[in-house]
Amino acid sequence: MKNRATPRTKVKEEDALVEQFGRIQSRTNVASSPNKSLHVAIGDDAAVWQPRAGHETILTCDWFLGGTHFLADTHPPESIGWKCLVRASSDVTAMGAQPRCFLLSLALPSTRTGAWLEQFLRGLKRASQALQCPIAGGDTTRQNEILINITVVGECKRGRAILRSGARAGDAIFVTGRLGEAEYGLRLLQRAPKRMDIHDQRLRKHLFPEPRLAAGLWLAKHGLATAMMDLSDGLSSDLPRLCNASAVGARIHRELLPCVAIAGRDRLKRFDAREFALHGGDDYELLFTTGPKDVARIPKTIGRVPVTRVGEITSQKNILLISERGIYEALKKKGWDPFRRT
């Protein structure tokens, strides 16, 4: 039953790995940060956590799997470490909440327990510091593929979490940032995985996305979002989820979409910025709705990130895309679904 195959290189035993994970925390941010809510962290059977008074706990978990969500031989380990925490935290951000600590479940081939793991943990530590979100525990085991699962624990004021289900007909639909930037980076990397420089700005959003923490917290603080979620699978896949939870429909105006800027040298590659914006995954921007009387209170930017009105919620339960000339068509789900035939 148990996998007793002999590893090919000298590997660390499980306890040594757990100790190594623990160093992310002690070197960084538990002792020095204001995060006093984490009473017991890595090293025991479980972590002990308590949010601040008047707050409640937000919980989410997220797969990040070699072969499905990333390619171990193409993606730099530092990006994998950064992105696994940021994308999981994005779900907490999308509730208008603040990530506070996380659990790391990591399964590795023996051959990845050396330099690869060091670089992975460096990326993870950077994300952990950027988010002020220390490690609280985890589980590690051996597997042929690199498998990551992250649980993020957040907090928000009691009763103030922004759900997917609060959108009403007449609400305006907004998105943060520019959509399709991650898809653009992905496509470039797919074309020439060996030739790309990982510091190339066109790859930034794909390799090192940033969660929209400031925007999420601002919207929660001012009570301006009736519904919110993050864009992880692409607008055409995620918007129907928000509409479904709220029992409403939506209209998106194609010309309002804040699309990725395709660099001049990539114009001949037949990249379509609007297609990327509608269907590209992995952007981790926020999608939210605001009641008609509050629309004027939504600023053009929150913490330097643009906020753009792209459409409105309708009582009719379909999702329509409206062209510049006012022609309607159904917006088909072409975003990322691991189970869909493509």
Quote the CA–CA distance of 324 and 311 in Å, as a whole number: 13
Q: Give CA angle at 313 (307, 318), nearest 5°.
A: 125
Does residue 146 interact with a second copy by CB under 8 A? no
Interaction of residue 191 with a second copy, rule CB under 8 A: no
**Piece of the chain touching a second copy by CB under 8 A; list 28-36, 153-161, 248-256, 268-276:** 153-161
Q: Computed from CA positions of residues 304, 305, 306, 311, in that sequence, does the dihedral angle turn out positive or negative?
A: negative
Applying the rule CB under 8 A, the residues between 256 and 285 that interact with a second copy are 281
Amino acid letter, residue 219? L
- Whether the CB-CB separation of 256 and 308 falls below 8 Å is answered with yes
Of 77 and 137, CB closest to a second copy:
137
State the minimum distance, in angstroms, from the CB of residue 237 to a second copy. Answer: 9
Size of the site for a second copy (CB under 8 A): 88
Buried b / exposed e over 161-170, threshold 16 CB at 10 Å, is bbbbebbeee
Nearest alpha-carbon partner for 130 in 209, 42, 37, 39: 209
Question: Which of residues 31, 32, 111, 190 is near a second copy by CB under 8 A?
Answer: 190
Restricted to residues 66-125, the positions that interact with a second copy (CB under 8 A) are 67-71, 74-75, 91-92, 94-95, 97, 103, 105, 107, 110, 113
Q: Could you say whether residue 164 binds a second copy (CB under 8 A)? A: yes
Work out how close the CB of 88 gets to a second copy at its nearest, in angstroms, rounded to a whole number: 9
- Rounded to a whole number of angstroms, the minimum distance from the CB of residue 142 to a second copy is 4
Residue (of 254, 236, 234) closest to 308 by Cα position: 254
Binding mask 307-336 for a second copy (x = CB under 8 A): -----------------------------x
Given CA atoms 13, 17, 22, 26 in this order, what sign does their dihedral have?
A: positive
Among 137, 234, 258, 280, binds a second copy (CB under 8 A): 137
Handedness of CA 161, 310, 286, 294 (dihedral sign): negative
Residue 73, number of CB atoms within 10 A of its CB: 8
Please, which of residues 204-263 interact with a second copy by CB under 8 A? 228-230, 241, 245
Contact between 44 and a second copy per CB under 8 A:
yes
Closest to a second copy by CB, 61 or 261 = 61
